[in-house]
Amino acid sequence: MSEAIHPNQLRPGDHIREYRLVRRLGTGGFAIVFLAEYRGQSYAVKVALQPASDDDGDHLDGWMRREAVSLEHLSHPNLLPVHELGRWPQPRTGYSFYVTDHVPGTTFGDWSQTGSITPFQWVGVLCEVLRPLEAMHERGMCHRDLKSENILVREGDDWPFLIDFGAVHLPCARPLTEGLAPGTIYCQPPETVRFLVGKAVLEKGARFEARPSADIYAVGVILYEALTGHHPFDPKLPLAQLLSAILTVPPADPRRLNPEAPASLCDLTLRLLSKEPSQRPPSVRVVREELERLRQTEGKTPTWRAPLILAAEKAEPMEDSRALVSTHTGVAQMPREESAPTGATPRTRHRRRGILTWALGMGLLGLIGWGLLHRVETTAPTLPMRLEQGAHSVQSRPTHEPFSSHDLLTETPTSGCSRIQILVGLTVAQLVGCATAPTVRPDLVSYLQRCPAEARATPEKLGFHTTGPTPYLYGSYIRGGTSASSEIPIDQGGPLNLKAGPVSATVHPHNDRRTYLIEGMAVTTKMRVYIQFDRIQASDGTWLPICGTAVSTAENVYGIPTREAVVFPASPVDPAKVDHSPGSVVLNDPQFMTFIEPPEGARRAKIEVADPDAKVDLEF
């Protein structure tokens, strides 16, 4: 068995230092979390996906080590203790990792919405998890990525843990980014948007100052989700609409979405989500004490003791009695004014509204885009990830570079385009000035050439069919995604929405109907989807390493064409079912081919990498 040289190559039974790996708990783009054992005890081992390097523009090594140091600095019963911090496999140039206890459990969002949990219960849990946040703020620290997914509720006793300190602000620490630190877009407070559209963002070295008020706003987002089952603003909105909503639109009163929600909790939630930081509670301690007071005084009432019946999944709340966001233009439409302020005329009001429309419409796809191209370093919150119970939150990797090795791109975007792609994904990045630049050019050929011998041996080990004009090229079908058609379901070959990030598929490597499950990572561009597969599940359930890439069924190139590149007339798309969220594309059907790297010297098909910017010329 060849020795693993990258975290993605680690398999059950391998070791990181003395910790024997049992299985993956969570897979993202910035890191992988493994369940591990040492001397009969279970641990969680989080490993960065890029090694220590001066060329690491994303500062993954720095963020990882800062996360571990933050946890070591705060000893608290609602935080996971760090047992070891190091690098693997080389102590100086390897991949940073740290080790904590493994806590079987689920996220606060999933736990609070199981259907049996009452507000009395989940408010109590939230109060507990606010205590370490208080301690952080008292020491000048800010979490900066507080959300329900980063609260882990332990099985058995419902004890909560605050996790994922990858974006934490440490006072006096060396800055790792300009602009914005990593975080989650839909949880960002309005002052973040003001920073992006303000003049300060254009100044060299400008950074959004970390303040507790942003964490307090995020507490409001968590409460809103627990009360309604919805986000205050839909994360699937196009970026311009989402940011303009955060900046200008008051969220719908939770009672409109869930009339059974306790009124006092709804009022507190709306105060936490105030557009101005000064209108929010002054500290997390004040928030916790108010929650405890409400729980003490109202906790025996029916609305607190009965599980909330959350509305069925539907569009996120966007309309307010005073303002709404147009789903067509992405511009905040201000309310009709009953009377003009003194000195204001209809023409004046129209001009003001026009200025706001320009700033929040063109500005969010122009001014913000320009500012981001110069200053911003932030996150992509919508990448899917494989996450099991008990896993740490794994920070999503930028949609422009989700492949496992840091050197898979032979030509990367400019630093500015790279940063905006980190924030919004390639599809939106192209709208703000990156469309003419070479977006993504995965060096899949080199990836296959560097395939370790163990992975090359897998096709022979599993008895794959290896003869014919295109050996080691097998029919495959995407698993997952969401339907983009009202007429043809995915399982019948209908069009589908696919996002960048972890992906799975079935492959047919024999002359019979036997199939295998393969898993890997996808990167999306406007015209292509590139997929790198790194493991396959054998018939006995074990996982074996492979080096595989997705190939277009019609062109014999690496890269599946999107519907933007070519339209299949027999695959009708329903515009209402198209996912417009960052990093999402539409495929005409789930079918493609997978090339799996064979043993050294074996005959192989000749395949090239498709141009990520080119349309496809096919006749039907």
Q: How far apart are CA 175 and CA 177, in angstroms?
A: 6
Residue 190 has which token pair?
């309005």
Give the residue from 215, 220, 213, 251 showing the smallest Cα distance to 233. Answer: 251
Give the residue from 585, 589, 588 showing the smallest Cα distance to 439. Answer: 585
Residue 186 has which token pair?
């839909």
With left for phi above 0 and alpha for psi between -120 and 50, is residue 458 left, alpha or beta?
alpha
114: exposed, middle or buried (Cβ count in 10 Å: 0-12, 13-18, 19+):
exposed
CB-based contact 327:241 (threshold 8 Å)? yes
Q: At what angle do helices 367-375 and 190-197 cross, to 10 degrees?
A: 90
Q: What residues contact 507, with CB distance under 8 A and at least 6 apart?
A: 474, 475, 476, 515, 516, 518, 536, 548, 594, 596
The strands making up 160-162's β-sheet, listed across from edge to edge, are 105-107, 151-154, 160-162
Q: At what angle do helices 367-375 and 415-429 cross, to 10 degrees?
A: 140
Q: Which amino acid is at 338?
A: E
**Count of CB atoms within 10 A of residue 138's CB?**
12
Give the residue from 604, 594, 609 showing the smallest Cα distance to 517. Answer: 594
Q: What residues contact 284, with CB distance under 8 A and at least 6 apart?
A: 130, 133, 134, 137, 212, 215, 216, 219
Q: How far apart are CA 284 and CA 130, in angstroms?
A: 7
Q: What residues contact 232, with CB distance under 8 A and at least 6 apart?
A: 186, 220, 221, 224, 251, 252, 273, 317
Alpha helix segments (H runs only) across 229-345: 239-248, 254-257, 263-272, 284-298, 302-305
Give the residue from 585, 445, 462, 460 showing the smallest Cα distance to 517. Answer: 462
Instruction: Tell whether 147 is in a known binding site.
Output: no
Q: How far apart are CA 527 and CA 617, in angstroms?
A: 12
Q: Which residues participate in the annotated binding site?
A: 46
Q: Which residues participate in the annotated binding site for ATP?
A: 46
